[in-house]
Amino acid sequence: MKIILALSVFALQSFAAEQTWTGQITDSMCKADHGVMASGGKPVNAHDCTLMCIKAGARFSFVSDGKVFELANQTFADLNQYAGAAVSLTGDLGEDGKTITVSKLTPKKK
């Protein structure tokens, strides 16, 4: 019985392996398009827009290849720094396929 339990735990851990994606840190209100916040023909600063939306109650999100992911750990230290920026994000994809728990953010290399 203990062996089966140990194997089950190992199998679950293998599904939760960290992955790395490239994309943009954004917010749940604007998602992939901060243009909706434009006014007077001025371009929108994605960093400022994301932080304003977060302050207004939106949640940090991540857009990669057109797909929007929720971020489970909203207090991850680097989210404010990289708000609106292109990044490489490392973390665990939740079982729902929509939520990522972030473990590392780095600026996307150009």
Burial 3-13 (b: 16+ CB within 10 A, else e): eeeeeeeeeee
pLDDT at residue 1 in the model: 57
pLDDT at residue 16 in the model: 63
Q: Is residue 35 part of a domain?
A: yes
pLDDT at residue 56 in the model: 96
Structural domain tally of the chain? 1
pLDDT at residue 40 in the model: 76
Q: According to DSSP H, which parts of 45-107 are helical?
A: 46-55
Q: Average pLDDT per run of 10 along the chain, which is 110 residues long?
A: 51 70 97 82 89 96 97 97 97 97 91
Report the candidate in 64, 71, 77, 70 with the shortest Cα–Cα distance to residue 24: 64
Residue 24: give the domain boundaries. Answer: 18-107
Q: Is residue 28 part of a domain?
A: yes
pLDDT at residue 94 in the model: 97
Q: Is residue 53 part of a domain?
A: yes
CB atoms within 10 A of CB 78: 16
Q: Is residue 6 part of a domain?
A: no
Entry pTM: 0.81
CATH number for the domain including 94?
A: 2.40.50
